[in-house]
Chains A and B, each alone.
Chain A
């Protein structure tokens, strides 16, 4: 199964939800099921697949790295209001938000503007 490596950074207090660690280097599948829910394997020939995107990454982080309070990170299929996402130092709104197709070596930053308050 092809995989890609990503640099993930958390800021603005979000790191507290991820073992108080700001930087993470992760490896995720390069292709994922069309449905964003993790758990299905793209190796099943009957499962339609697509290049991995930020929405999948978001759920992957929630299911694999997040230690507590998932509702502070993900809400209604996207990041919680008040969370800013940068893709290679660029606002994800310029890159298609959750539909941005991740590439090997991308840096994704999740910053909470709420800073706990």
Chain B
């Protein structure tokens, strides 16, 4: 029996929810946050894991229903043969009981044909950005501190991306996320208590529901 069927038969709840808290910190103070996170988080080798990713968002516009967005992400370090990562995140549910945002989450690794594939499916290139920063882990939690930059002009991956980057703001984007299933109750408290430790440098909040 293949693994998917095995899982279904065992009726194990599939981890398809992402619990997320987001915030930002100014560039000048990022070093403080990094130092604090380095102390607080799991730190096996002593070195901080860095990432430099390019994320492209494709959207499928359905006239009757709301748009579907898929995010294609790959690491710029892996060029010329990067591993593409396809991710679907739904919009976060507004849940007043929870102190973190919860959203549906699916992801998988795909081949490099994905961009073409999505375009053939009808997805349209929506926007893209570069995220460069560090990633910290604490237990099941993952905290990323990243500088978001946009491309000065669209490129298809042939040119050197660094040459055309332009930071989006003077702040770094911080996100704390945890992949869990529906039955994880204490996750919100766990994340919130860890977020408390990062105050007053940064206050991590739920995703604001404006739409």
State whether these chains interact. Answer: no
**Which residues on B are within 8 Å of A, measured CB to CB?**
none
**Which residues on A are within 8 Å of B, measured CB to CB?**
none
